[in-house]
Structure 1
């Protein structure tokens, strides 16, 4: 029967079928568009399961249904492989903190690029408003202006004090992928939205100013019959997969608007003459995002 993968531990999966949680394992090998994957199956996947006739209360996954979309990153453990983060999502929600721990804007942009490959809407929630100085609040206002202008939803939050109705409504009638560094507040947000989830929350280390991993495996939590959140382990780095140099700008919405207008069709928007993208810096394209683009471009080149 058809089932939804709601938890992945790497070897075993929990699936939901007919409102029942079942334990299942994968039969055989599955591929994703000829990609080399460390995990062929992810939370959010729809699968076909059949009873294991040799073991009671165990099911076997025999088929993975076609995905509407998926989000991958390069594997940190196996060179040349990708790691499937989640499938069939309606939006990606990134929890960002300006300190304790600080989220680099390069990480933010990489997350948004991972969404852009399937035109998945992105939401950026800046958590820990209560500990920000005036300087940091001004920085938030600046970043909010940059990202809202190019189509992303941005909000300032303090999850420990609760979740506003405006933020809560962002999750209604959607399956949302939740991501961010360890210690940014993913588990706190889930506990506010779904108290029965009882996600473990640890303090940020004073020594390293970094979060402690509390989520070990990806897992889907239901807010109601039509809304769900896929929680993922805290990510330190987000390596992008299979993006060529001359395609990178396609994943920046503000640069995509200038597609095909440069003098050279293979323009990388670095130092080529007749580049309309560079002409738009400080106008339609922020200097911050352009510098992030150059950094990612350099990193992609170094990977080659």
Structure 2
């Protein structure tokens, strides 16, 4: 068989809608997908057929994880084979604590570790931002505080041995962090708007960067929302790690964890074993799921 047309395997290192860059033993190859039934994302390990200077992705190898977000109408896969989710926040512009928690819940559903990164440590508002993150650090989620413009060394040990998906709202300094970790990346950065208290998207596609043979970072476009409609009520409850010891112990098997007598989650919230704010978030997310299902 002509080696030019022999099948190859590789890893998707960049995803641009229907076009992909796949890293192979022979170098990076620009590829398209064969047919519309095949869904490919950054991080996927794929089987490809070389066709002269390009390639065709013909199959996706089994994934260890698939992280995606969804709303009532569609789901969007973000990255595959990720072992760690790193949520980047900063004191300025302000970040949504609910959005951070939604990202962490999606990671928990896939058995992916979570890491919190508080960037722009030199800002005077940083201590207050750090206090807001206590809701998650008290549960054991690790936090790295740094200034990407000054020194990213504090982050490197947390990335070692992982394929880490870097995610966060626009304006948090994610692209600056990528440029500091990978000087050749040339990620576009932008100032945020103080008037609007928000940033603007600078990353337009998902890209995998290798730190070393055992470590990689996947950069993803900034986001302003992260829905969890793909999780049913049971999966959603399991994604709250502090709920797990109490699940299945309510008096009623179909307990909604609202006002039912003998609800172990409500009792745990009353005694401080779980944070009432976390239980309220669960109930809010579950109601959003139910409302979305009724609209379909």
The TM-score, its normalising length taken from structure 2, stands at 0.91
Higher mean displacement: 294-303 or 255-264: 294-303
Higher mean displacement: 155-164 or 9-18: 155-164
Q: CA deviation at 1:89?
A: 0.7
Structure 1 runs not aligned, ≥5 long: 32-39
Matches within 5 A, 1:167-206: 167-206=155-194
Q: CA deviation at 1:139?
A: 5.1
For residue 127 of structure 2, the aligned residue among 130, 137, 140 is 137
| Aligned twin of 2:202 | 214
Cα distance between partner residues in 1 of 2:30 and 2:164? 23
Cα distance between partner residues in 2 of 1:252 and 1:6? 31
Tell me, yes or no, if structure 1 residue 68 matches structure 2 residue 64: yes
Structure 2 runs not aligned, ≥5 long: 1-7
| Aligned twin of 1:34 | none
Structure 1's consecutive aligned runs of 4 or more residues displaced over 3 angstroms after TM superposition are: none
Q: Deviations over 1:60-107 (max 9, x none)?
A: 1111111111011116xxx6321110000110000022331x221110
CA separation of 1:142 and 1:214: change in aligned 2, threshold 3 A: closer
| Aligned twin of 1:273 | 261
Q: Deviations over 1:241-260 (max 9, x none)?
A: 32223442111000112111
CA separation of 1:45 and 1:247: change in aligned 2, threshold 3 A: closer
Tell me, yes or no, if structure 1 residue 229 matches structure 2 residue 217: yes
SS for the counterpart of 2:159 is coil
| Aligned twin of 1:87 | 80
For residue 32 of structure 2, the aligned residue among 25, 36, 46 is 25
| Aligned twin of 2:241 | 253
Cα distance between partner residues in 1 of 2:132 and 2:105? 20
Equivalent residues of 2:166, 2:217 under 8 A apart: yes
Cα distance between partner residues in 1 of 2:26 and 2:151? 29
SS for the counterpart of 1:285 is coil
Q: CA deviation at 1:141?
A: 3.4
| Aligned twin of 2:5 | none
Q: CA deviation at 1:118?
A: 1.6
Cα distance between partner residues in 1 of 2:278 and 2:261? 21
CA separation of 1:295 and 1:98: change in aligned 2, threshold 3 A: farther
Q: CA deviation at 1:14?
A: 0.2
SS for the counterpart of 1:213 is coil
Cα distance between partner residues in 1 of 2:169 and 2:209? 19
Matched positions, count: 285
CA separation of 1:139 and 1:274: change in aligned 2, threshold 3 A: farther
Matches within 5 A, 1:80-159: 80-100=73-93, 102-133=94-125, 137-138=127-128, 140-141=130-131, 143-144=133-134, 146-159=135-148
Q: CA deviation at 1:267?
A: 1.7
Cα distance between partner residues in 1 of 2:256 and 2:230? 17
CA separation of 1:69 and 1:81: change in aligned 2, threshold 3 A: same
SS for the counterpart of 1:160 is coil
